[in-house]
Amino acid sequence: MITVAQVANANEVELLCITYELFLDKLNSIISNPDLHPSNSASYKRDLLKILSILVSNLDMNIQLSHDIFDLYIFTQKLVINNDYEAAYEIISQLKQGYNQLKKSDLKFKATTTNVENIYVGMTYNRSCINEIVCGSDNRGYII
């Protein structure tokens, strides 16, 4: 489960990994339910294509590597359209794995948001769900 705190405190690479995780979760839902009703399947497919379009729109095409990743996204889009979900899962999971390794490196990435409130996440007063607590402060709004 992705929390507000994860998104609010994420840097560029972490946000990309979160987006990949959302994509893979949707794919997992389709793969694990082969008897999914066609209308639900179409809804999942629309969501997958939206996520891919977001990933494509965030590429910096001034960098050569972005062109290669763009080609992978387009190929993945074709796989999703043709219902080859396992192959699409493999491609995006490999990309996510690469960016997870990048997260572990000593490189410093700038935060994507500043001036955000502190959000504390924990299992407070409820064993079955995560509660998020926002402490009031002067940090209002996002500066990107």
Q: How far apart are CA 113 and CA 143, in angstroms?
A: 6
> Around Cβ 24, how many Cβ atoms within 10 Å?
18
The whole-number pLDDT of residue 117 equals: 57
Q: How far apart are CA 27 and CA 76, in angstroms?
A: 12
pLDDT (tens digit per residue) in 74-125: 999 999 999 999 999 999 999 999 988 887 776 666 665 555 555 555 555 5
Residue 133 makes CB contacts below 8 A (sequence gap 6+) with: 119, 120, 121, 122, 124
The whole-number pLDDT of residue 135 equals: 55
* Both tokens assigned to 138: 């002067």
Residues in the chain: 144
Q: Scanning the structure block, which residue is given the tokens 């607590």?
A: 133
Question: For the chain, which residues make up each domain, given as ranges?
Answer: 11-104
The whole-number pLDDT of residue 97 equals: 94
pLDDT (tens digit per residue) in 16-58: 888 999 999 999 999 998 787 777 788 889 999 999 999 999 8
Fold of 11-104: Four Helix Bundle (Hemerythrin (Met), subunit A) (1.20.120)
Q: Scanning the structure block, which residue is given the tokens 């379009």?
A: 53
Is residue 80 classed as helix, strand or coil in its secondary structure? helix
